[in-house]
Amino acid sequence: MKRAIHIVVFIIAAAMAIPAVAKGETKMSIWGKTADGVPVPIYTLTSGQIEVRVMAYGAHLVSVKAPDRNGKIADVVLGYDDLSTYLKTPNPFIGAIVGRYGNRIAGGKFTLDGKTYQIPLNEPTNALHGGPKGFDQYVWQAQEVPGGVEFTLVSPDGDMGFPGTLTAKVRYTLNGATLRIDYTATTDKPTVVNLTNHAYYNLHGDDQGNILDQKIEIAADRFTPVNSTLIPTGELAPVAGTPLDFRTPEVIGARINADNQQLKIAGGYDHNWVLNGNAGTIHLAAIVTDPVSGRKLTVETTQPGVQFYSGNFLNGAFTGRHGVKYEKHSGFCLETQHFPDSPNQPNFPSTVLRPGETMHSTTTLTFGVVK
């Protein structure tokens, strides 16, 4: 029987692999209230190198202010000016923690221990990021921790059709120029879980056009091809000889319109890459650089995959900070994760979590510059 991946042994391995985070400066304020009057705190984490803001609604990553090669500061994640905009525009999940199952489940249906579960669809044929009301639309409980803040959400048995009462924790801590995100989850019944952050990055700055001239490197020899509904076929295909080969740095827009069926299906990049490192230990996922500003983002993770999404479905319908409309390719996502539709793919690493086990993963985002 497959065991749920990232149980306690992986917690020990991850803790050994990643140094402890030094305490940074954390300030809290109330950003506003939900429609039913629940206050939403927002936290500002500063280190002297970068500034990060995260809030309790959806455990969103709201802002990352980082310098360019000349010291000029810009916000390098997409976001909104106020809480009310987040409340009324949950999709496209800008900056949110998505769950209980990040990414897609085919037909919203899976079978676990002989019982079939149905998640409400929020795409024509799939459940995406946990269904119509995922973890991105709840106010999480917040507690300051050394160097940052930990958010906790208790998802009851049957929430969006998922079995088991799941207790999820997401901890953001800042050390120098590195933002670390730790995810943990426990359950009282067998369930499936896949938590990730859905931030959109633009290393030019959040109001400075599209990301097509930025360069990306992805540490993966293989990816999971998708069918016409963006569900993996089950194959682990080599990237070699395809426009999805980013084993060496390549401009995002260089091949995005290539005559390739996978790119045509997704309207660009919206695929899961099978990372070369060992799941449960920290390893490189991706490096993105902006030749104009010199900003650099390095993503490392204990997860087996990363979803690189080039903002194909952004269409100008969402107005971000500075009054800028987020058009197609205004930002890119690097969602460290288990593979999409894993509950229906027996050959993929398992996302099953059982009572007595603890799901744990860590992702680090390091912001630097290249001269």
Q: 161-177 pLDDT, tens per residue?
A: 999 999 999 999 999 99
Pair 182, 80: CB distance under 8 Å: no
CATH of the domain at 113: 2.70.98.10
Show which residues are catalytic: 198, 335
Domain span holding position 333: 8-369
Mean pLDDT across 90-116: 96
Show the 3-state SS of 229-289.
CCCECCCCEECCCCCCCCCCCEECCCCCCCCCHHHHHHCCCEEEEEECCCCCCCEEEEEEE
Q: Give the pLDDT confidence of 247-289 residue by residue, as tens digits.
A: 999 999 999 999 999 999 999 999 999 999 999 999 999 999 9
Residue 68 has pLDDT above 60, yes or no: yes
Residue 228 belongs to some domain of the structure:
yes
Residue 280 belongs to some domain of the structure:
yes
Residue 14 belongs to some domain of the structure:
yes
CB neighbours of residue 332 within 10 Å: 26
Tally of structural domains, the chain? 1
**Structural element, H or E, at residue 17:** helix 8-17
Residue 315 belongs to some domain of the structure:
yes
**Structural element, H or E, at residue 16:** helix 8-17
Residue 11 has pLDDT above 50, yes or no: no
Residue 2 belongs to some domain of the structure:
no
Tell me the percentage of the chain whose pLDDT exceeds 90: 92
Q: Which amino acid is present at 57?
A: Y
Residue 3 belongs to some domain of the structure:
no
Backbone angles phi, psi at 136, to 5 degrees: -70, -15
Show the 3-state SS of 159-175.
HHHCCCCEEEEEEEEEE
Q: Give the pLDDT confidence of 228-250 residue by residue, as tens digits.
A: 999 999 999 999 999 999 999 99
Distances (CA, A) of 273 to 209, 222, 226, 304: 26, 6, 12, 9
Mean pLDDT across 184-210: 97
Cα–Cα dist 295/50, whole Å: 12
Residue 56 belongs to some domain of the structure:
yes
Pair 43, 55: CB distance under 8 Å: yes
Q: Give the pLDDT confidence of 104-158 residue by residue, as tens digits.
A: 999 999 999 999 999 999 999 999 999 999 999 999 999 999 999 999 999 999 9
Residue 358 has pLDDT above 50, yes or no: yes
Bond before 180 cis per omega within 30 degrees: no
Residue 182 has pLDDT above 80, yes or no: yes
Residue 350 belongs to some domain of the structure:
yes
